[in-house]
């Protein structure tokens, strides 16, 4: 059996986007081994066809030289012996090659902006591009529209269900070990307004996020919502998203986690291109702000253009989000799932919650 070694530590959204490509390689007969960070390891462990090789990314990236070296030694010992058919380091930063320094491989892959064969081509979905890179295809193949790969089973639900439609909001995020990408966030006051409108219509609103997202909580203190920011581990958050009829967030890790669940999904985009990031499955919609802006998208895969007003995100109105809520809830109620789509700002009608 041919063997593939994937190097993708995190952030969690990047790991989830690489999952369909690894699954497609597995379907072609490959045995999948994956070097990942401790944050992503619990999610990858839900997939029995992946041999997970966890590494402490904090010690690797944010510790002294001695600690980094010891972490590397432990990782090298954990990698199975023998020759891999493909060793794929899914990063543009050449320093990540060090993680597989002692590995023997017939073909090595490192992402590169200088080579069409190993770059992520704009306008194509990252999952499709990862598969093209892993498979070694060099022709101009069209995207395969690889859908997210849900786990066979989900962890235990941390919150009991009620008779109200459960809607999860993730208003913070967009932060990882290396930096805080605040330009990707929809204005917090817009999330508050959406929460208030949905509460009036009888929805159960749950506020989710990680420990670093506590700054968002005070903005919602006056609303009768359920705030679990920082209270649940990653797998519990995954189960919570799977229990929701709808999730609303921007381009952040929970958006991609939601993609492998059954929740309907509204993703709010601006500086990043949703055509490469929106989960390609039913009842998933991206609202892409910045229509008519010459600078959109401004993210080049590494950096954002200098920006002081984040106007592309602000262009997405609460009315537009609420109208998409209406559309998705109607589709769910009528058992008529909608294909994944990208929408840009325009006038939207008022929301009426289905009875």
Q: What is the pLDDT of residues 212-267, one digit of tens each?
A: 899 999 999 999 999 999 999 999 999 999 999 999 999 999 999 999 999 999 99
Contact between 92 and 112 (Cβ < 8 Å): yes
Given this model, what pLDDT does residue 141 score? 57
The β-bridge partners of 117 are none
| Structural class in CATH, domain 166-343 | alpha beta
Concatenate the DSSP letters of all residues of 212-280 into one string.
GGGGGGGGGTTS--EE-TTTS-HHHHHHHHHH-SEEEEESSHHHHHHHTSSSEEEEEESSS-GGGTS--
Question: What is the pLDDT confidence band of residue 142, given thresholds at 50, 70 and 90?
Answer: low
Given this model, what pLDDT does residue 143 score? 54
How many CA atoms lie within 13 Å of 340's alpha carbon, on the beta-carbon side? 18
Range(s) for CATH 3.40.50.2000 in the chain? 3-135, 166-343
Give the residue among 214, 172, 210 at the shortest CA–CA distance from 191: 172
**Residue 178 reports pLDDT greater than 70:** no
Residue 249's region, left for phi above 0, alpha for psi from -120 to 50, else beta, is beta
Q: What is the pLDDT of residues 327-345, one digit of tens each?
A: 999 999 999 999 999 999 8
Q: What is the pLDDT of residues 270-328, one digit of tens each?
A: 998 898 899 999 999 999 998 888 788 777 666 777 777 788 888 999 999 999 999 99
- For residue 179, the 8-state DSSP code is -
Q: What is the pLDDT of residues 181-220, one digit of tens each?
A: 688 899 999 999 999 999 999 999 999 999 989 999 999 9
Question: What is the C-alpha separation between 225 and 237, in angstroms, rounded?
Answer: 16
Taking residues 80-108, report their average pLDDT: 96
3-state secondary structure (DSSP) of residue 41: helix
Q: Give the relative orientation of helices 126-135 and 12-27 as an angle to the nearest 10 degrees.
A: 50
Taking residues 73-99, report their average pLDDT: 95
Percent of the chain with pLDDT over 70: 92
Question: What is the C-alpha separation between 71 and 341, in angstroms, rounded?
Answer: 42
To the question of domain 3-135 being in CATH 3.40.50.80, the answer is no
Give the residue among 314, 321, 208, 186 at the shortest CA–CA distance from 254: 208
**Residue 86 reports pLDDT greater than 50:** yes
Q: What is the pLDDT of residues 36-82, one digit of tens each?
A: 999 999 999 999 999 999 999 888 877 788 899 999 999 999 999 99
Given this model, what pLDDT does residue 132 score? 92
3-state secondary structure (DSSP) of residue 107: strand
**Residue 347 reports pLDDT greater than 50:** no
Helix (H) or strand (E) holding 16: helix 12-27
Distances (CA, A) of 193 to 169, 187, 215, 319, 321: 12, 10, 17, 10, 11
Contact between 37 and 9 (Cβ < 8 Å): yes
């Amino acid at each position: 059996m041919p063997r593939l070694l994937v190097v993708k530590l995190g952030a969690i959204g990047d790991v989830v986007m690489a999952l369909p490509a690894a699954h497609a390689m597995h379907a072609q007969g490959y045995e999948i081994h994956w070097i990942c960070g401790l944050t992503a390891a619990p999610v990858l462990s839900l997939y029995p066809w992946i041999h997970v090789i966890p590494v402490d990314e904090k010690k690797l990236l944010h510790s002294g030289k001695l600690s980094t070296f010891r972490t590397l030694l432990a990782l090298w010992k954990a990698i199975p012996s023998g020759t891999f058919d493909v060793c794929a380091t899914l990063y543009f930063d050449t320093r990540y090659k060090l993680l597989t320094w002692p590995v023997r491989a017939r073909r090595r892959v490192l992402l590169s902006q200088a080579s069409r064969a190993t770059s992520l081509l704009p306008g194509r979905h990252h999952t499709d591009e990862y598969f093209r890179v892993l498979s070694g295809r060099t022709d101009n193949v069209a995207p395969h529209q690889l859908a997210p790969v849900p786990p066979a089973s989900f962890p235990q639900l941390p919150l009991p269900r009620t008779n109200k439609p459960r809607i999860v909001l993730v208003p913070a995020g967009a932060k990882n070990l290396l930096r805080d990408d605040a330009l990707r966030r929809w204005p917090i006051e817009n999330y508050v307004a959406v929460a208030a409108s949905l509460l009036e219509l009888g929805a159960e609103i749950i506020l989710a996020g990680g420990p670093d997202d506590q700054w968002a909580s005070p903005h919602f203190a006056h609303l009768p919502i359920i705030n679990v920011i920082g209270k649940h581990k990653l797998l519990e958050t995954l189960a919570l998203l799977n229990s929701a009829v709808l999730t609303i967030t921007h381009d952040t890790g929970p958006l991609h986690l939601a993609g492998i669940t059954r929740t309907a999904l509204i993703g709010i985009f601006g500086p990043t291109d949703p055509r490469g990031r929106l989960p390609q499955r039913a009842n998933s919609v991206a609202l892409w702000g910045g229509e008519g802006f010459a600078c959109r998208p401004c993210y080049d895969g590494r950096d954002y253009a200098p920006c002081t007003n984040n106007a592309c995100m602000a262009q997405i109105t609460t009315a537009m989000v609420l109208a998409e809520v209406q559309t998705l809830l109607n589709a769910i109620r009528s058992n008529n799932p909608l294909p994944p789509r990208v929408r840009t700002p325009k006038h939207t009608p008022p929301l009426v919650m289905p009875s």
